[in-house]
Structure 1
Amino acid sequence: MTPPPNFLRDIALYYTSRRDVQPKFDTLAFVLPNKRSAMFLKKHVRDCLKEPTMMPRFMTMRTFISLNSPYPEANEREQLFILYDAYLEALHAKGRRESAREFDNFIFWGDMMLSDFNDIDCAMANAADLFKNLKNVKEIQADYLDADQKEVIRRIWGESRLTSRADEFWLHLDDETESSLGAKFVYLWEILGDVYSGFQRELERRKLATAGSQTRAAVRRFKELSPLDISGDTHYVFIGFNDLNTAETLIFDRLKDLGIASFFWDTAPLELAGYLSGSPGARPLRRLAELARHFPMPQDFVIRQRSTPPQIEVIGVPSNVGQAKAMGDSLEKLMAENAIDSSNPLSTAVVMPDAGLLMPALFSIPESIEAINISLGLPYRSTTFASLLRAIISMQLRARTIHGSTHFYFEDVNAVLTHPHIQLIAPEGAQKLTELIASERLYNLSASRILETVPELKAVFTAVRDLENAGAVGAYLTEMLDWLMAAIDGISGGTNRFETMAIDFFKKEIEALTALIESHGVQMSERTFLHLFERMFSSRALTVNGTPLRGMQVLGVLETRCLDFDNVAILSMNEKIFPRKQYTKTMIPNNLRLGFGLPDFDSLEWTYAYCFYRLMARAERVTLFYDTRSEALGGGEISRYISQMRYLMPKLDISVRNLLPGAVPDDSRTITVCKNATVLSKLDQLKAGGPLRLSASALKTYKKCPLQFYLQYVRRMRGSDELVDYISASDYGTMVHNTIQSLYEPYRDSLVNADILSHLLSPENKTIERTARQQMVSMCYPAYAADDTIPLPAEGELGCEIISAIVRADLIAERDCYCRPDFTFIDNELKIDRPAWRIDNELAVNFYMSIDRVDRIDGTKLRFIDFKTGSESTSAKLAELFDGAKHEKDGIFQLLTYCEAYAAMVDSAPDITPMLHPMRALAQKPEITPIVLDGLPLETYKQVSEAFRPMLHAMIKEIFDPEVPFTQCADSKRCKFCPFLTLCGRVVPEF
């Protein structure tokens, strides 16, 4: 039985069946696009051989070029440093060495230069002529942003931001004689030729090369070969290429002329496009057709194609990760149809244009598939180690010196503490430090304070005092990684091979980077090493172990070249992802690239298009997934490849369907907690004799949302209360309140008259300002407590002025409204929690209240004052006080609750005047007005006690009523800022 068509297997059969024919089998050297295809061809050759024999050689094009070049390729890191040396040398020759950009600023442009220099060499272009022409180009843009990105920058920052980065880089140019930005660039193009020449000279001196210079050297070597030099011991077989640069074309042509090369082209995508559409081939495939004509395959080799086109299904999924889940379901379906052999699914491939979906895809592959091989490297930036290193590097970069000691910013410290690896290694220490930050409101933490609190994390929180010293920075990172490896090994017993491999990679990168910086004598700024390290590892990928020749293949797009699969699933089939909008960045305009034979902007996209159509032509079943969301990367737009197949290849069997989004939680459902025996026993703890207490805040929470009350006050759960990096409205309220308290404290149990307040308000008297600063320092800037002459940060200084202004407005209003002969200040923050508050004969509850201020007026009459910095109303209807949606009435509810509780728990005799101080309103107009309830000014609580008391008691009794469950609030808009929102799962509408 003839096996189905398979490109590599057919080539293997061709050569193994004619081993006695020239060229001899053991002289063959198969050259393929990548290691994966070389490995598969080697497997097919072995499978075809029936007896022991000398195997031919298998190599990639890069290996072939390297073997025919005199010098090895320098690694990416070293190339960048050598290029920087050449850049400095070129500037020095122009007399501008002192104006050179720092290495940090050079990295971005250096990458682009290296890429362009490689393209120049691979195109065998004359660099001097190219740069001479480049100098004369009239329009040169240096921002390298695409049109969409430019529009965003214009909209947010304005036109000037578009060239700011380039302008900053080229400041070494002569602004006096060539002031325009375009003129500056023309000058730079002039030195690029010198940079290129100096770069090549330095590589030659070090006996190193780039990929491009190796290719140029290989062309020279083969050009110098004559027929007399051919010994017949090597015959090259080039397989599966779709496009060649100029140098590769020259090599192929010379080897063809010498008769020591054969060529095999997979023309399946040409057949697919030409047969189905009647056209000679899609534009991206024309280059392949030209190569197949110029370098023909052996005449006796017949390339076999599938007799029927593939079944193609296009599935739209309204989620990025959801594509991976849908892919898993598709594989399950194929297994059920016996289209996949779960024990050896080698004929199935999952192709991933976006490596970011690798982990979701791996978790979605059915467990019944026994073997998986991953040729797509896991990006280091996606590993947990990379995120930890980014957090640590950010912490060190943003560290600052305060009073001679290094301090870390609290957000950076929290990012490190909450990282999974730190949580695994030192959970108790991390929790201890997190609580310290929150409890003491530490915005900046000294390294010494951290080490005192969590000495076990010394390796992480040791301050790097000299960030300009490569050795010091490298030593810190190396010691930290050694500690991390030892800690993880200690926990896992040394079984975490992946973690060990990742840490070992990072260590080698650090050691290599340190050596390069020191050997090249690069002048470092305080950020150079850490920035360069981040850049170096961010573009690398971690090799994942697998079963290369047995399992299901998880591949990147380029890794699919030459490989045939019966079943293919491709994720991320969105425009701008596959194909990507831009594959390479370059400093050379497209017209010059075309004129000098450099690959143009379409070249790499053509290779991706070839890979895609080749997969379509070779597969039996194809499933394509794309993200339908308009806000997703790609804007929900389907890939042009799918559109081309649907409209230009109408005979293809393509079905399209969209998966509906997962069910949205029904917001009409209500979470209800019934008061069973367990809940009632916890409620009993709030009753007289129990350990817990009610408060006005608890009652406000209950009327807003009974479920939140249950979680917070019955179950004693804590919501998220994160420290923020700014002075919040709550902070301002606390500091305003504390400042007024401090100013009144000397007059406790004393008469307060207008003269006292006028003295405090005197412009010459700075008591208010000093007190406001003390509160600011205590709450937000404790590091400044030792010296009150040091200015606070700008936000702190401005905050002090705001607090002082609000306090002055309040004191002016109090002087004009309260200062009567019998005004006596009694207490600040009067706290009362005993005896129990008896609601009726069957219910007595523990209740705690803290009244902001208590004054005595008219001999026995009391005044309860509550300071509010929010949007509190001083007027309401009585019924509104028990409406959870009327949160602006909560201040009045709280004061009246205090009045009722005081009368019940302490003394019912005195009249009590409740007064609200809405600080925002007072800052605008320093005038205190009484509370207005049901249209009448409230002079004393007794005016409304008979109406308020039964409503309050009814609400408290409802809390303990076994028949009334704790339910969610009816209006979901109230849930937006609820600390239990994620736990509750409520869908909150946008406002």
Structure 2
Amino acid sequence: MKPFLNRIAELFYHNHTEDIGHICFVFPNRRSGLFFQKYLAEIAGKPMFSPPVTTINDLMTELSPYIPADRTGMLFTLYELYMELYNNEESFDNFVFWGDMLLNDFDDVDKYMVDAKQLFTNIQDLKEIEEFYLNEEQIAVIKRFWHNFSYPSIDSEKKQDFISLWSILYKLYFSFRQKLSSKGIAYEGMIFREVAEKSKEVNRLKIPYKKLVFIGFNALTESERVFMEQIKKQGIADFYWDYNAPTLRDKFNKATYFMNDNIHRFPSAYDIGEPDIITMPEIELITIPSAAGQAKLVTRLLDEFIQNDYIPQTDKAINTAIVLPDENLLMPVLYSIPEIIDPINVTMGYSLQRTPVAALMDTIYEMQRHVRYSKGEALFYHLEVKSILSHRFIAAHAGIEGDTLIAFINKNNKTYLTSDELGKNYLLKLLFRNIRNEKEASGYLLSLLEFLLQNTHQSTENEEKEVVKTGLSSLEREFIFHYHTAIKRLKDVIEEHNIKMDIDTYFRLLHKLTSAISIPFRGEPLSGLQIMGVLETRALDFENLIILSVNEGIFPVKKVANSFIPYNLRRGFGMATTEHQDSIYAYYFYRMISRAKRVYLLYDSRTEGLKKGEMSRYIYQLKHHYQAHIKERIITYNIASNQAQPIEIKKTPDIIQKLSRFLSGGDRYLSASSINTYLDCPLRFYLQKVEEIGKEDEVTETVDGSVFGSIFHYVMQKIYDRMKGVNEEILVTADMINTILKDNSLMTAYIEEAFARTFFKKYKDPQPLTGYNYMIGEIIRKYIRQTLTADKKYTPFTYLRSEEKIELEIPFSPEKRVRIKAYIDRVDRHNGKIHIIDYKTGGDKTSFQSMERLFDHNINHREKAVMQVLLYCKMYALKHDTGEDIHPSIYLIQKLFRDFDPEIRIKQGNQYETIESYLSCNTEYTEVFNRCISEIFDPAVPFSQTPCTDHCQYCDFTGLCKR
């Protein structure tokens, strides 16, 4: 079956052999014009002068005295006129959103040749509507629209603002057109309306062609319809519509919405001789739960085409097209094309907004909008800083200084950073400076992009097309160049109109400007595999079609344009509505598949967030309305859930050598927490303590459990050290504690100091707490006050010291001694005993069943705090050897407000008894402690995974263990 354009080319070549060079052929897009010229050349079989080929947009511009205007410049012009008419001090930042809507609405008003005065005038009396000579439907919808705004009893401020704004829209529209006209520029709708109105006047519009032939159109705006009618009356127009398929003539199909009117108004001069299409193509529906998976599936389908000779092995073969309703799949599809498929032609181009340079600009925008100020100095948020430093373009130039900066941020928990901290070289100084207005923004971005372009070089053939570390590919350089041009254009327009705006508005305008820029791919447009968007398929036919993302909401697209003109008014005045959009996309789909032999429809079946994973309505229509035979295939992924294999690390001579560093003569220490780590999971102990594999530093923005505990410990130490002063020890009385409890300012100072030292780290001096940190500070204040209140029960007592550091070598066998280090939270003397106090801000226990249980690997919830404080008692006794009784105590901070009891109890028979003195249980504790340490250093006992999977919940190595 010959393509539609081939038949048109054949028809006109044979009927207008002599004068075809004077006929202008008009198409909906450039691609269809190129294919038409190709078919015409093949039919002629000899050199010939190609007839003029154009698009409807280019033809209208050619016939108009105006030059197409720049959209950004129009937005500024519209704002200036709005300020003159509305007499309101509204900023450009507030205007830009609905100003952009007005540009779209004015364009629609002109394309559909609506009487703007009738549409925009604020109607004070509904009876006046009939004087406008509107039809009944228009009168009805206007009455419905104005019903809520026409009564004086309505005092809604927003409604009154709407009415007053609506009342100036016609003046704004009229003055805007006048302003553009005086400059010799116009928006597209204005150009279309100008040409259409001129065409109605005799000899006013000069057509420089003998004949105009319109091919492959469907949905026409009123201005296009008027223009075509007028040149038809002059006898110089001909029209050819592609409605030959039964689906395109089915009155129940929305694709036929414009058909009858087009055929009736604009009949064809010739019968193109195409037989009726009576059969459906071979259709295969492929369900795949992945967007990228669809792109990968393209490879398999193309391989099938080659094996079955669906794709001729010739460079001129253009019988296969991949259609992408979702243009985000362009790059995944390109990377999936088999190498044997060559050449490839990409029709749709690539949006500048999807390029790496656009991603960099977006991150810079986020960084600038989140800038904070402290004492007049700009502070940059760490996440955006790290994201920028990690961007390939920046990382290539920042080098080791960029990596060092990221490590510095993580290690020092820097949530916000100053320009001085970040500006380590020229590029970083260029990047990390605050911009406050549109003028600074343009200079900032232009300087950055110029640096990237000037300080990179392209790879050569000797580098086998690989880009060196500080280089950019030619395509990336082109992306940067186009972005640089867009910024410069925006800068020039802003300066021309002298408009002030904030950074948010500036970047929104830049985003809108760059979104409209498409980077064309180089290729041979008339050969090879065609990759195109839906709009590029108009009037083109292919034997093999692979259409991706045939999902409801994507094809047909579900996008309602923002408009100042409500739906009922648009419909009443004959403007485009959502029904038009539905019918247009239905026509695209059914026309596209009508002459194909094979059609593959792929859709993403995933249901995520707002995505329903629903197949397009077109698939349901083919299945149930047209009873089409559709072969269905479901692609699934085998995700094997392999049983995690046990991991066991044998103690090789190398590992034993590393362990020996914890023994006498070594240079490392074990601690109570590292012993608890071993008891929780020997493998974790091996990775963390023996191999020293730790979690990478990260910035902590909120106070987690460990930081909370550190702040609490710090404040308690500051309070008691202040009481002690320079003395070795101090007798603490209830009055002394009461004095502290009354001094809120002192406690505030200590809390702020604790935050500065343990959490913020970036401040040399304490800072007042705000927001979330203020709330945490107040919680800590309550805990501190309650702890001091609890301490009053034991007054008078002697405070000795806090955070006492003890480093010892403790024998655990006749031949070996282990190096142990500890920091004891607090040491008091009370009632003739030394009290070892351990603060615990977590959910620990103070009662336990036996010493054996404290060191049992197989228990999920061991009493870790008890094991730890008893070890502190042991170490204190060994270091000081005073002969005094040592009493262990645990302050469970969470229980300070209820049932506070710092005593440690061990089960004896059927009840728990208090451990009054550590010395009473030293022998039993030392025995199980020694067994545990001996096991750590025993060459025959490997480091294995814990049998208690509860311990894996918060482990940093779960990815390694696959637990």
TM-score of the superposition, structure 1-length normalised? 0.86
Amino acid at match of 1:654: I
Q: Is the 8 A contact 1:831 1:848 kept in 2?
A: yes
1:850 corresponds in structure 2 to 823
- Paired with 1:227 and 1:325, the residues of 2 have a C-alpha distance of 56
1:166 corresponds in structure 2 to none
- Paired with 1:130 and 1:474, the residues of 2 have a C-alpha distance of 39
Pair 1:25–1:953, CA change in 2 (3 A): farther
Q: Is the aligned partner of 1:7 residue 2:14? A: no
Pair 1:546–1:53, CA change in 2 (3 A): closer
Aligned with residue 271 of structure 1, among 242, 246, 257: 246
Amino acid at match of 1:737: H
Q: Is the aligned partner of 1:311 residue 2:285? A: no
Aligned with residue 575 of structure 1, among 548, 552, 555: 552
- Paired with 1:515 and 1:714, the residues of 2 have a C-alpha distance of 63
- Paired with 2:598 and 2:51, the residues of 1 have a C-alpha distance of 34
2:484 corresponds in structure 1 to 507
Deviations 1:156-204 (A, max 9, x none): xxxxxxxxxxxxxxxxxxx999434333322222122222112111111
1:932 corresponds in structure 2 to 905
Q: Is the aligned partner of 1:639 residue 2:616? A: yes
1:481 corresponds in structure 2 to 449
SS at match of 1:489: coil
Q: Is the aligned partner of 1:727 residue 2:703? A: yes
- Paired with 2:899 and 2:77, the residues of 1 have a C-alpha distance of 70
* Deviation of the 1:311 alpha carbon: 1.7
Pair 1:965–1:764, CA change in 2 (3 A): closer
- 107-116 or 879-888: which moved more? 879-888
- Paired with 1:418 and 1:137, the residues of 2 have a C-alpha distance of 63
Pair 1:301–1:965, CA change in 2 (3 A): farther
Q: Is the 8 A contact 2:649 2:942 kept in 1?
A: yes
TM-score of the superposition, structure 2-length normalised? 0.88
Q: What does residue range 373-522 of structure 1 map to in structure 2 within 5 Å?
A: 373-451=345-423, 453-464=424-435, 467-468=436-437, 470-489=438-457, 496-522=473-499
2:462 corresponds in structure 1 to none
- Paired with 1:474 and 1:286, the residues of 2 have a C-alpha distance of 47
Pair 1:943–1:16, CA change in 2 (3 A): farther
Amino acid at match of 1:573: V
> Percent of counterpart pairs with the same letter?
32
Amino acid at match of 2:103: L
2:232 corresponds in structure 1 to 256
Unaligned runs of 5+ in 1: 139-174, 987-991
1:893 corresponds in structure 2 to 867
CA RMSD of aligned residues (A): 3.3
Aligned with residue 36 of structure 1, among 15, 28, 31: 31
- 397-406 or 303-312: which moved more? 303-312
1:331 corresponds in structure 2 to 302
* Deviation of the 1:484 alpha carbon: 2.3
* Deviation of the 1:493 alpha carbon: 7.4
Q: Is the aligned partner of 1:814 residue 2:809? A: no
Pair 1:843–1:79, CA change in 2 (3 A): farther
SS at match of 1:459: helix
- Paired with 1:563 and 1:888, the residues of 2 have a C-alpha distance of 74
2:82 corresponds in structure 1 to 87
Pair 1:909–1:513, CA change in 2 (3 A): same
SS at match of 2:114: coil
SS at match of 1:548: coil
1:284 corresponds in structure 2 to 255
1:370 corresponds in structure 2 to 342
Aligned with residue 113 of structure 2, among 124, 132, 149: 124
Q: What does residue range 568-967 of structure 1 map to in structure 2 within 5 Å?
A: 568-650=545-627, 652-666=628-642, 669-670=645-646, 673=649, 682-683=658-659, 685-746=661-722, 747=724, 749-755=728-734, 757-764=736-743, 766-780=745-759, 791-817=768-794, 819-821=795-797, 823-825=798-800, 827-835=801-809, 837-840=810-813, 844-857=817-830, 861-878=833-850, 879=853, 882=856, 886=860, 889-899=863-873, 911-922=885-896, 924-925=897-898, 927-934=900-907, 935-945=912-922, 947-949=924-926, 951-960=928-937, 966-967=943-944
2:63 corresponds in structure 1 to 68
- Paired with 2:500 and 2:306, the residues of 1 have a C-alpha distance of 60
* Deviation of the 1:389 alpha carbon: 1.2
Amino acid at match of 1:868: K
Amino acid at match of 1:107: V
SS at match of 1:752: strand
Pair 1:952–1:536, CA change in 2 (3 A): farther
- Paired with 1:424 and 1:486, the residues of 2 have a C-alpha distance of 14
* Deviation of the 1:739 alpha carbon: 1.1
- Paired with 1:304 and 1:659, the residues of 2 have a C-alpha distance of 37
Deviations 1:632-691 (A, max 9, x none): 5431222111111111010x2212233234415346555555556665555555555555
2:461 corresponds in structure 1 to none
Amino acid at match of 1:767: L
Aligned with residue 188 of structure 2, among 211, 225, 235: 211
2:148 corresponds in structure 1 to none
* Deviation of the 1:385 alpha carbon: 1.6
Q: Is the 8 A contact 1:241 1:265 kept in 2?
A: yes
Deviations 1:15-37 (A, max 9, x none): 3344426xx11112221112222
- 196-205 or 454-463: which moved more? 454-463
Amino acid at match of 2:23: L
Aligned with residue 349 of structure 1, among 321, 331, 337: 321
- 675-684 or 588-597: which moved more? 675-684
Amino acid at match of 1:112: M
2:141 corresponds in structure 1 to none
Pair 1:47–1:439, CA change in 2 (3 A): same
- Paired with 1:369 and 1:811, the residues of 2 have a C-alpha distance of 79
- Paired with 1:686 and 1:234, the residues of 2 have a C-alpha distance of 98
- 72-81 or 516-525: which moved more? 516-525
2:463 corresponds in structure 1 to none
Pair 1:960–1:791, CA change in 2 (3 A): closer
Unaligned runs of 5+ in 2: 128-151, 459-467
1:115 corresponds in structure 2 to 104
- 758-767 or 413-422: which moved more? 758-767
Pair 1:637–1:190, CA change in 2 (3 A): same
Q: Is the 8 A contact 1:558 1:608 kept in 2?
A: no
* Deviation of the 1:128 alpha carbon: 0.8
Q: How many equivalent residue pairs?
A: 921
* Deviation of the 1:701 alpha carbon: 3.1
SS at match of 2:602: strand
* Deviation of the 1:601 alpha carbon: 1.4
